[in-house]
Amino acid sequence: QKEVEQDPGPLSVPEGAIVSLNCTYSNSAFQYFMWYRQYSRKGPELLMYTYSSGNKEDGRFTAQVDKSSKYISLFIRDSQPSDSATYLCAMRDSSASKIIFGSGTRLSIRP
């Protein structure tokens, strides 16, 4: 079993829809949770990061962490075609600098 599980998709939604992307994990020591966005032929770019449980909002993006369920989510409101990309969740514990990535979800926003 992988430490971090992420549905690979692809996920296709119409423009303006709310998108929900999720990851589950098995290591209860994970404390830092990140979401990266990767456009085709580019490196990943950091979108959001949260420490421990709770919500964090940044514009149209909201990240949620539920440590009791070992479940993290990224919500995208008012989705745009420019949001079409692969979204990777990532996490690490407080002692290790090694970051564990999910396999990524390919998202397509239809105009």
Partner 1 sequence: KAGVTQTPRYLIKTRGQQVTLSCSPISGHRSVSWYQQTPGQGLQFLFEYFSETQRNKGNFPGRFSGRQFSNSRSEMNVSTLELGDSALYLCASSLSPGQETQYFGPGTRLLVL
Q: Which residues bind partner 1 (CB under 8 A)?
A: 32, 34, 36, 41-46, 49, 88, 90, 92, 96-104
Smallest gap, in angstroms, from Cβ of residue 46 to partner 1?
Answer: 6
Give CA–CA dist 42/69, Å, rounded: 32
Closest to partner 1 by CB, 17 or 101:
101
Minimum distance from CB of 17 to partner 1 (Å)? 26
How far apart (Å, rounded) are the C-alpha atoms in residues 99 and 83?
Answer: 24
Q: Residue 1 CB, nearest distance to partner 1 (Å)?
A: 14
Q: Quick check: 62 and 68 in contact, CB under 8 A?
A: no
Q: Which is nearer to partner 1, 8 or 81 (CB)?
A: 8
Cα 90 to Cα 21: distance, rounded to the nearest angstrom = 13
In whole angstroms, what is the distance from residue 77 CA to residue 19 CA?
Answer: 7
Please identify, using beta-carbon distances, which residue of 6 and 84 lies nearer to partner 1: 6
